[in-house]
Structure 1
Amino acid sequence: MVSVKSGLDVLIDEEFQPLRGKRVGLVTHPAAVDRTLRSSLERFAEAPLTLSAIFGPEHGLHGQAQDLIGVTEEESRTVTRVVSLYGKDVASLHPSKESLEGLDVLVIDLQDIGTRFYTFQATMLYCMQVALPMGLPVMILDRPNPLGGLEVEGPVLRPGYESFVGAHNIPVRHGMTMGELAHFYADKLGLPGELLQVVRCQGWERDRYADETCMPWVMPSPNMPTLDTALVYPGQCLFEGTLLSEGRGTTRPFEICGAPWIDASRLAEEMNAQGIPGVYFRPVCFRPTFQKHANSDCGGVQIHVLDRADFRPVRVGLALLQSMRRQSIEQFRWRTEIYEFVENPIAIDLLFGSDRERLAIEAEVPWEEIASVWEEEEQAFRHELRPFWLYP
């Protein structure tokens, strides 16, 4: 285990020198803490600057809201105005120009989970798209990718499938930090990169997972309680695009999945028989307390990651999805309600990044064959992102 400093820690060590005397807007949430577990909000409120505006992402400034729940403007312990960047419509996902007026710099300190559909990196991008063309500098306080920065997995986003869970055409597991993504987005979208500053982490190397650093883990969202959750999330979030439970309403969201009509033992036996590397599937019965199948007994599996080096979460999610559909073809349904403010395409297509995977699943193409077409896209993105690496 190594000692790692976040961008916030580095800024504190510098006594906020780059921001002294400036009017600052801060985009943050509860997981943005320093090495002593004090939040960036507390630190900025005490710093020698004027905290003029605070912006809260999905789940709210205080991390209290469940997924898909709009958040109105909130209270903070300061007298600063607080603006929600996850309200009741798609327009609320972007800061308004009016909310940024009068600022000297917009600072973004958010903990990502290294996954395209984890929305904090989309919030960062949307902030950059508004602020940078206004001539407003943006500072990213970088944090390690808790899944490490070497592995890339899953399909890239195709044109026409952009949304809050797919703001740019990157793979599902992207292997980058927020700071690296910021430079990548600025370059690919032609944003004025000279106004972008990334305060880098110190001591982090990209082959290290979150538990291989001394940095504390704080839940970045209500259903991301541990690193174990984050490890499986790139594949298990796909279940949001179905009527199967992804384990919300349990103490092991995303690690557990299933439905009332699933035969747990049969599913676990079928999954384990495939010999998928790095993982074991344990049959479980669970009763969600909210969301899908609340207060109903569900059969399913818990995903136990045995070897992170071999484990490929997106492929595991695809394999599980296919096995559950095959076992319960009459009950299986895709989620068709409005998802992240989008009615069409449907949720599963937004999550995969196109309809290609859904159509292949419906055609009963084996998951290994579906995933094989990702390999060229994954390899191409590895080469594309390499120039934007900030860490060895």
Structure 2
Amino acid sequence: MAVKTGLDVLIEDKEIYKTFKGNVALLCHNASIDSNYTHAALKFKELFGARFVKLFGPQHGFATDVQDNMVESDHIIHPYFNIPVYSLYSETRIPTDDMLDGIDHLFVDLQDVGCRVYTYIYTLTLLLEKCSDKDIQVVVLDRPNPINGIDIEGNILELEFESFVGRHAIPMRHGMTIGEVGLMHQKYWVKEQANLKVIKMQNWNRDMYFEDTKLPWLLPSPNLPRAESSLTFPATVLFEGTLLSEGRGTTQSLEIVGHPKIEPFSFYENHMLSVVKNSKLEGFVLRPVTFLPTFQKHANQVCGGIQIHVTNKFTYKPWRVGQILMRELYHYLAEDFIWKKPPYEYNHTELPIDIINGSKKIRCWLENNDSIEMLEAFEDLEDYKLQLNEIKIY
């Protein structure tokens, strides 16, 4: 049985629809579609007519056409809907009073990828904080966590490394839907609560991966064109903190990593084969590849590297795979391995790799070439699991 997203439920359940009496706005992006591929904004125009007064877009823009971190979108009047589209990845990540003026219900329909280093959940939590003293109902139209709602992985973010890819004390693979992130935020992370409503999905179970939902996948950001890429994302996004390519500018973005100085076959045979075997990690295959990025890092330079192929998603641990791959590349490339410098996602002081990891400890771990057992020791998740159990709605 196919999953019905919060958007589908809103469209089909006239009793829920009737509860929204005033003006409505919608925060959405390219992946905000119903089960028939119809964009949420079109459905809102149909449902609410003249009461549909404003649109908002997150990072990458309402159209999801802007590529990189800290590349901002403009505010516009939409040429078809003839209403304002306010960018919440612009000179501000927080909606202003003027942006929120005249709104009674602000709907949020964003496809998250289940990873801490993905900004849409922070667009939601900043919105909730802004609306805590306003007479605005924030309504999250819930969507699946594409890498399931059971498995959690990685260290908990240390708040001194707060950025727009990590505002809250959660692990890299957080196991929540975006609606549950909103509920977690309201219960544990703020003192003043907003008027939050989550329209739950139907037929979604926590053990589902995206392919199990029978829903259509549209890219939620420009470099995740395939649902399968969300499985490799918690591993490959780590390399945003380096000057290695994570495959942007190729057709396999965030599934491959590489650098012009890597000879892929010798690196794989002499380094990764034994490391993977000794790690006892399962559910994936690393394959030596050669690729040519057409933009961003090492544009138009041939790179050697590794592609991650997930062969068993139930046993695959992306965070650990990514950290071990980075550890080996750090020592293989030596002086050619370079950490990216600040700023990164509006943090102007800390190294981007530490911002992504939410800690300095993991960078020190890999620079010291320490063991996988020491890496696993960073995953102190019991308190988080207790909090998660308190807010689960599925």
TM-score of the aligned structures, taking structure 2 as reference length: 0.95
Alignment partner of 1:30 is 2:34: no
Provide the C-alpha distance between the structure 2 equivalents of 1:268 and 1:22, rounded to a whole number of angstroms.
60
- Displacement of 1:29 in angstroms is 0.5
The answer to whether the Cα contact below 8 Å between 1:234 and 1:314 also exists between their aligned partners in 2 is: yes
Deviations, residues 207-235 of structure 1 (Å, cap 9, x unaligned) = 01010111110100110011221001011
Aligned to 2:87: 84
Partner SS for 2:115: coil
| Alignment of structure 1 residues 64-79 onto 2, 5 Å | 64-68=65-69, 69-76=71-78, 77-79=80-82
CA contact (8 A) 1:157 1:166 kept: yes
Q: Are the equivalent residues in 1 in contact too, given 2:157–2:166 (CA < 8 A)? A: yes
Q: Distance in 2 between matches of 1:193 and 1:316?
A: 38
* Distance (whole Å) between structure 2 residues aligned to residue 256 and residue 335 of structure 1: 18
Alignment match, 1:183? 183
Number of positions where the alignment pairs a residue of Structure 1 with one of Structure 2: 385
Q: Which whole-Å CA distance do the structure 1 matches of 2:18 and 2:309 have between them?
A: 44
CA–CA distance in 2 between the matches of 1:44 and 1:272? 52
- TM-superposed CA distance for 1:346, in Å, is 1.4
Alignment RMSD, CA only? 1.4
The residue matched to 1:374 in structure 2 has which SS? Answer: coil
Q: Quickly say closer, same or farther: Cα 1:293–1:158, change in 2 above 3 A.
A: same
Counterpart in the other structure of 1:9: 8
Cα distance, 1:181 vs structure 2: 0.8
Q: Which moved more, 1:99-108 or 1:68-77?
A: 68-77
3-state SS of 2:239 partner = helix
Decide whether aligned partners of structure 1 residues 100 and 19 sit closer, same or farther in structure 2, where only a CA change above 3 A counts. Answer: farther
Q: CA deviation at 1:194?
A: 6.7
> CA shift at 1:137, angstroms?
1.4
Q: How far off is 1:272 after superposition?
A: 3.0
Q: Name 2:57's counterpart in structure 1.
A: 56
CA separation of 1:37/1:191 partners in 2, compared to 1, >3 Å: closer, same or farther? farther
Q: Is the 8 A contact 1:11 1:199 kept in 2?
A: yes
Report the counterpart of residue 243 of structure 2 in structure 1: 243
Query: Paired residue for 1:374?
Result: 378
AA partner of residue 311 (structure 1): Y
Are positions 1:324 and 2:329 aligned together?
Answer: yes
**1 CA distance for matches of 2:335 and 2:194?**
55
| Mapped partners of 1:219, 1:187: distance in 2 | 30
Q: How does 1:122-137 map to 2 (within 5 A)?
A: 122-137=122-137
Measured against aligned partners, the alpha-carbon deviations of 1:301-355 in whole angstroms (never above 9, x if no partner) come to 1111111111000000001101111101111110004111222111111100011
In the TM superposition, what are the counterparts of 1:270-285 in structure 2 within 5 Å? 270-273=271-274, 274-275=276-277, 276-285=281-290
Q: For 1:59-97, what per-residue CA distance to the aligned partner results, in whole angstroms no more than 9, with x for missing partners? A: 00011100222111134221211100111x4xx111112
The whole-number CA distance in structure 1 between the counterparts of 2:264 and 2:385 is 37
Kept after mapping to 2: 8 A contact 1:29/1:60: yes
| Partner secondary structure for residue 76 of structure 2 | coil
The partner residue of 1:292 within 288, 297, 305 is 297
Q: Given residue 117 of structure 1, which amino acid in structure 2 is its aligned partner?
A: V
Distance (whole Å) between structure 2 residues aligned to residue 85 and residue 19 of structure 1: 27
CA distance in 2, matches of 1:358, 1:260: 22
Distance across 2 between alignment mates of 1:163 and 1:206: 28
**Displacement over 4 Å in runs of 4+:** 191-194
Relative to structure 1, the CA distance from residue 314 to residue 381 in structure 2 (aligned partners, 3 Å threshold; closer, same or farther) is same
What one-letter code is carried by the residue in structure 2 that aligns with 1:74?
Answer: I
Alignment of 1:28-177 (within 5 A): 28-48=28-48, 50-68=51-69, 69-76=71-78, 77-87=80-90, 89=91, 92-177=92-177
Aligned letter for 2:84? R
Please name the residue that 1:385 is paired with.
388
What is the distance in 2 between the residues matched to 1:333 and 1:235?
18
1:358 & 1:297 partners in 2: Cα distance? 27
**Inter-partner Cα distance in structure 2 for 1:194 and 1:247:** 39
Moved more, 275-284 or 242-251: 275-284
The answer (yes or no) to whether the contact 2:153–2:171 under 8 Å persists in 1 is yes
- By how many angstroms is 1:193 displaced? 4.6
Asked whether the equivalents of residues 244 and 292 of structure 1 are also in contact (C-alpha less than 8 Å), the reply is yes
Could you tell me how far apart the structure 2 residues matched to 1:17 and 1:286 are?
A: 49
Match of 1:351 in 2: 356
Paired residue secondary structure (1:325): helix
Assess, with a 3 A threshold, how the Cα gap between structure 1 residues 175 and 361 changes in structure 2: closer, same or farther.
same
Q: TM-score under structure 1 normalisation?
A: 0.95
Following superposition, the deviation at residue 191 of structure 1 comes to: 5.0
Given that 1:336 and 1:343 are in contact with CA atoms closer than 8 Å, whether structure 2 keeps it comes out as no
How far the C-alpha of 1:53 sits from its partner, in A, is 1.3
Q: Structure 1 stretches of 5 or more lacking a match?
A: none
Percent of aligned positions with the same letter in both sequences? 37
Amino acid at match of 2:9: V
The alpha carbon displacement at 1:35 in A equals 0.7
Q: CA deviation at 1:359?
A: 1.9
8 Å Cα contact 1:59-1:221 kept in structure 2: yes
Q: Counterpart amino acid of 2:313? A: R
Q: Deviations over 1:262-300 (max 9, x none)?
A: 121123222232223111111101010000000000010
Structure 2 counterpart SS, 1:328: helix
Q: Letter of the 1:38 partner, please give it.
A: T
Gaps of 5+ in 2: none
Structure 2 distance, partners of 1:167, 1:187, is 15
